[in-house]
Amino acid sequence: MGIGLTGVSGPEIEQMESESQIPGLWTLEKAVGFIFKWARKNSLWPLQFGTACCAIEMMATAAGRYDIARFGAEVFRPSPRQADLLIAAGTVTEKMGYALKKLYEQMPKPSWVIAMGSCTIAGGPYYYDSYTVVKGIDSFVPVDVYVPGCPPRPESLIHGLMAIQKKIEDEPIFRRRKNA
Amino acid sequence: MTDLLLSQIKGGNESQFGTDEYVVNLGPQHPATHGVLRLVVKMDGETVKETIPVLGYLHRSIEKICENRTYPQCITYTDRVDYVSAMSVNLAFALATERLMGLEPPPRAQWLRMVFVELQRIASHLLWMGAFAGDIGALTPFLYGLRERERILDLFEMTCGQRLTYNYIRIGGVMIDILPEFVPKCRAFLDYFEPKIAEYEELLTYNPIFLERTRGVGLISPEMGINNGVCGPSLRGSGVACDVRKQQPYLYYDQVKFTECLEPGGDCWSRYRVRMREIRESVSLVRQCLDRLEPGPIETKLPPILKAPPASEIYSRIESSRGEMGIYLVGDGTAKPYKAKFRCASFSNTYVLDQLTRGWKLADIMAVLGSLDMIVPEVDR
Amino acid sequence: MTNDELKSKIEADFKDKITSAVISAQKELIVTVKPENYLQLCQALRDKGDYLFQHLSCLTAVDYPKENKITVVAHLWSYKYAHQVTIKLDVDRANPKAPSLEKIWQSTNWFEREVFDLYGVVFEGHSDLRRIMMPEDYTKFPLRKDFTDDGFIIKPN
């Protein structure tokens, strides 16, 4: 909306290390990769970042009945420096977008992003007639998993978390920033 | 040298040991600000000199959107104005529209609305209790509060299929009639829930740490509260009778028995007490409404396109879980509101934060902010 | 006090200070006030024994581009007598200026900041008139009817 949140980083910011570039890493990956993956996927620490309605469902997911601790992701960290999963729960306005981008950049890599709810996916009910809401956070933060719903049920969020775990298992352990 | 230092530390020469004013920025991403409120706190040592709330991080332009939606479509957006207590905002908008167009819903719909709004008040206060206790360091009540809240959400889900944004209370009635098993399930829940309130009180009310953190903190005097627009349970914690359900009865609140919970203290603890007592009142209100529920239609017949009379306007208020919720609608003879304004309790309650926290410590900001029960989408809309 | 009694009382007390006092079809008392008497009327409504409108419930504005005016609307409520009144003040749309009610009801501080932010009405005498919702460097007034912006997509019907 004129201010320009887009452009600096994008989904292409992280690119996987290819086999041809550094062969040694590939061997290491094969030898010990499964230990890294196992550790990573079972101890995802989400950043406590809730903006709107979805945050309440995120809290419900963390509470007794849905118990996100079963998946090792109950350690909600207030500081981005200690987190490796960003659950963007709730509407992101332009004013908040800058904060979100900064938070993502402060997280140690590798890190993963879940876009929770229609607002973060594409603006949702605020697509039309809204002069503040960002129409999809993937224009400035690389999103790994989209969880649709307004708001999504806790089961959906857990499903999204499992998709992240699957993704960790499937991808190489070394990821590198393209422009780093 | 050591003696000199000691004498100065004990309150000697202040100019030599005076601290510079410095600024602490809380938020917009901060676990204790209940979302995306940002506070810029000017401090002298550990003492707060000024708290400047910075709003607008969740300004979703709902009022502008409502100007370009038909009246029934607007109800969807009212859910998102206050997602913790969505039924209340649904009701506020539906009542305003009905008064604007002169519609009268059938009695069964009105009693159903009361059942759901009071259940919602319990759910909202439970979540508040968890968050408030969490803010001042007690993490257990959060798990207890959400445990019972899930059971209320089950009742809602059984009726309208949603857990958080219901869109249940519609213009001219409610969306759908309750299932036959709703009433026994609801009664079973109330019987299960009532002893639990005593459990929470045992956990928190006279807990020494809790008392230390909340007694005498964040004092609102009645005059200051009224002049600053504080409303709802936060003002009743100062002993001012301001319940819209009593002052300007809507639905059938004049036909049921309930007491307005007042506490004279004016501090965080009194506000906590008011809300805990309100939970009990709501339980009794739900029981009374279930008793009065009789079979009948749940909707009035509406014209295919709802149009407001030209040059009409209404300001309609209800008591939502957080306090006074006002809807100002201006109709211009078309199917869309010319102007829709949501007057939310959190907006005016957050305004006093600066005055309440001056001279207190940084950690007390969290206690005061929690006790005001503010929720960001209501502040920003 | 009922609306009719309140209306006749306000008409008697402030005969030359108000433009009109009507009871709308929705049974609300709406008083339109002359700009020069706005503060005086509000002060009297808050303090005088028979009114005691201690609580300013809501303050907002409505944009009427056709009539070239913005109406500042305040809803007052009396906790003691449980009656309500709506005070309206018309300001010029090209140069919108209104007196600030902050000295009378402190709660208007944020309400007036919001109206300033979204409608561009300048409240004279306000202690801290800054944008409240939009970023501080924003230049437009979103809730005006003729508002347009880059990312602002109007819903097609």
Q: Which of A51, A103, A131 sits opposite B61 (nearest CB)?
A: A131
Among candidate residues B245, B269, B290, the one with its CA nearest the CA of residue B116: B290
Check pLDDT > 50 for residue A11.
no
Does this model's pTM top 0.95? My answer is no
Please report whether residue C156 resides in a domain. Answer: no
Contacts of B157 (CB under 8 A, 6+ apart): B163
Among candidate residues A34, A84, A32, A68, the one with its CA nearest the CA of residue A162: A68
> By three-state DSSP, how is residue B174 classified?
strand
For the segment B178-213, what is each residue's pLDDT rounded down to a tens digit? 888 999 999 999 999 989 898 888 888 888 888 888
Beta bridge partners of C61: C72
Beta bridge partners of B44: B21, B47
Both B36 and B125 in one domain: the answer is no
Evaluate whether B88 touches B53 at the Cβ level (below 8 Å).
no
pLDDT band at B117 (very low <50, low <70, confident <90, very high): very high
> Which string of b and e fits B145-169 if b means at least 16 CB within 10 Å?
bbebbbebbebbeebbebbbbbbbb
Helix axes B182-204, B268-292, angle to 10 degrees: 160
Please report whether residue C154 resides in a domain. Answer: no
Q: Residue C75's Cα: distance from chain center in Å?
A: 7
Cα distance between residue C123 and residue C96, in whole Å:
9
For the segment C39-69, what is each residue's pLDDT rounded down to a tens digit? 888 888 888 888 888 888 889 999 999 988 8
Both B16 and B93 in one domain: the answer is no
The DSSP secondary structure of B71-113, one letter per residue, reads HHHHHHHHHHHSGGGHHHHHHHHHHHHHHHHT----HHHHHHH
Q: Which of B61, B83, B163 sits opposite A132 (nearest CB)?
A: B61
Beta bridge partners of C33: C18
Please report whether residue C134 resides in a domain. Answer: yes
In the block, residue with structure tokens 């209940």: B34
Evaluate whether B363 touches C87 at the Cβ level (below 8 Å).
no
CATH number, domain of B263, equals: 1.10.645.10
Please report whether residue C152 resides in a domain. Answer: no
Picking from B71-80, B298-307, C101-110, C146-155, which range would have the lowest pLDDT averaged per residue?
A: C146-155
Please report whether residue C46 resides in a domain. Answer: yes
Residue B3: its pLDDT value, please? 55
Copy the structure tokens of residue B170: 């519609």
Contacts of B324 in chain C (CB under 8 A): 57
The DSSP secondary structure of A112-166, one letter per residue, reads EEEEESHHHHH-GGGSSS-SSB-S-GGGTS--SEEE-SSSPPHHHHHHHHHHHHH
The listed range with the strongest mean pLDDT (A4-18, B83-97, C11-25) is B83-97
For the segment B30-51, what is each residue's pLDDT rounded down to a tens digit? 776 677 888 888 888 888 888 8
Both B31 and B166 in one domain: the answer is no
Residue B142: its pLDDT value, please? 85
Q: Which of A56, A64, A99 sits opposite B143 (nearest CB)?
A: A64
Letter for the amino acid at C5?
Answer: E
Copy the structure tokens of residue A164: 């992240």
In the block, residue with structure tokens 């809240």: B149
Residue B296 C-alpha, separation from nearest chain C C-alpha, in angstroms: 28
Letter for the amino acid at B185?
Answer: K
Interchain CB contact of B341 with C (< 8 Å)? yes
For the segment C66-80, what is each residue's pLDDT rounded down to a tens digit? 988 899 999 998 888
Q: Residue B285's Cα: distance from chain center in Å?
A: 18
Residue of B nearest to C148 (CA): B64
pLDDT band at A1 (very low <50, low <70, confident <90, very high): very low
Interchain CB contact of B185 with C (< 8 Å)? no
The DSSP secondary structure of B138-167, one letter per residue, reads --HHHHHHHHHHHHHHHHHHHHHS-SS---
Copy the structure tokens of residue B303: 């014209």
Q: Which of A2, A130, A132 sits opposite C150 (nearest CB)?
A: A2
Cα distance between residue B212 and residue B210, in whole Å:
5
Both B100 and B181 in one domain: the answer is yes
Helix axes A154-170, A23-42, angle to 10 degrees: 160
> By three-state DSSP, how is residue A71 classified?
helix
Mean predicted lDDT score pLDDT of chain A: 79
Evaluate whether A68 touches A62 at the Cβ level (below 8 Å).
yes
Q: Which of A55, A78, A99 sits opposite B28 (nearest CB)?
A: A99
Cβ atoms within 10 Å, residue C6:
21
Evaluate whether B201 touches B164 at the Cβ level (below 8 Å).
no
Both B373 and B225 in one domain: the answer is yes
- Mean pLDDT, residues B64-86 taken together: 89
Both B38 and B135 in one domain: the answer is no
Helix axes B107-135, B140-160, angle to 10 degrees: 160
Residue of B nearest to C58 (CA): B343
| Phi/psi of residue B250, nearest 5 degrees | -120, 180
For the segment B250-295, what is each residue's pLDDT rounded down to a tens digit? 888 888 888 888 888 888 899 999 999 999 999 999 999 999 888 8
Touching C (3+ Cβ pairs <8 A), the chains are: A, B
Residue B328: its pLDDT value, please? 92
Interchain CB contact of A69 with B (< 8 Å)? no
What's the complex ipTM?
A: 0.90
Range of the domain at C49: 3-147
Please name the residues between 128 and 167 in chain A that touch chain B, using a CB distance below 8 Å.
Answer: 128-133, 150-151, 153
Mean predicted lDDT score pLDDT of chain B: 86
Domain count, chain B: 2
Copy the structure tokens of residue B356: 């309440």
For the segment A138-148, what is each residue's pLDDT rounded down to a tens digit? 888 888 899 99
Beta bridge partners of B23: B42
Check pLDDT > 60 for residue C3.
yes
Cβ atoms within 10 Å, residue B37:
26
Both B159 and B302 in one domain: the answer is yes
- Does the beta-carbon distance from A59 to B65 stay under 8 Å? no
Which of A6, A132, A140 has the most C C-beta neighbours within 10 Å, making it the best mutation to test the interface with C? A132
Contacts of C108 in chain B (CB under 8 A): 229
Residue A22: its pLDDT value, please? 61
Range of the domain at B26: 2-54
Interchain CB contact of A105 with C (< 8 Å)? no
Domain count, chain C: 1
- Mean pLDDT, residues B315-328 taken together: 90
- Does the beta-carbon distance from B226 to C55 stay under 8 Å? yes
Residue of C nearest to A1 (CA): C151
Evaluate whether A130 touches B64 at the Cβ level (below 8 Å).
yes
Both B252 and B289 in one domain: the answer is yes
Check pLDDT > 70 for residue A2.
no
Cα distance between residue A106 and residue A5, in whole Å:
17
Please report whether residue C41 resides in a domain. Answer: yes
Residue B284: its pLDDT value, please? 92
Cα distance between residue C89 and residue C33, in whole Å:
6
- Does the beta-carbon distance from B147 to A150 stay under 8 Å? no
Contacts of C84 in chain B (CB under 8 A): 248, 315
- Does the beta-carbon distance from C24 to B312 stay under 8 Å? yes
Evaluate whether B316 touches B340 at the Cβ level (below 8 Å).
no
The DSSP secondary structure of B223-285, one letter per residue, reads HHHHHTT--THHHHTTT----HHHHS--TTTTSS--PPP--S--SHHHHHHHHHHHHHHHHHH
Cα distance between residue B373 and residue B47, in whole Å:
23
- Mean pLDDT, residues A108-124 taken together: 87
Cα distance between residue B40 and residue B21, in whole Å:
13
Among candidate residues B233, B239, B224, the one with its CA nearest the CA of residue B354: B224
Cα distance between residue B366 and residue B357, in whole Å:
10
Copy the structure tokens of residue B226: 């009224």
Q: Classify burial at B248, counting beta carbons within 10 Å of its beta carbon; exposed 0-12, middle 13-18, buried 19 or more.
A: middle
Percent over 70 (pLDDT), chain A: 82
Check pLDDT > 70 for residue B372.
yes
Residue B227 C-alpha, separation from nearest chain C C-alpha, in angstroms: 5
Residue A135 C-alpha, separation from nearest chain C C-alpha, in angstroms: 9
Q: Which of B63, B69, B317 sits opposite C57 (nearest CB)?
A: B317
Cβ atoms within 10 Å, residue A42:
12
pLDDT band at A5 (very low <50, low <70, confident <90, very high): low
Evaluate whether B55 touches A96 at the Cβ level (below 8 Å).
no
Interchain CB contact of A130 with C (< 8 Å)? yes
Q: Residue C60's Cα: distance from chain center in Å?
A: 5
- Does the beta-carbon distance from A131 to C142 stay under 8 Å? yes
Both B14 and B76 in one domain: the answer is no
Largest CA distance in chain C: 52
Cα distance between residue B371 and residue B210, in whole Å:
12
Contacts of C110 in chain B (CB under 8 A): 347-348, 351
Q: Which of C133, C151, C155 sits opposite A1 (nearest CB)?
A: C151
CA B158-B160-B165 angle, 5° bins = 115
Residue A78: its pLDDT value, please? 84
CATH number, domain of C115, equals: 3.30.460.80
Residue B281 C-alpha, separation from nearest chain C C-alpha, in angstroms: 22
- Mean pLDDT, residues C124-149 taken together: 87
Check pLDDT > 50 for residue B161.
yes
Both B22 and B143 in one domain: the answer is no
Evaluate whether B132 touches B375 at the Cβ level (below 8 Å).
no
Both B265 and B343 in one domain: the answer is yes
Both B27 and B119 in one domain: the answer is no
Check pLDDT > 50 for residue C112.
yes
Check pLDDT > 70 for residue C95.
yes
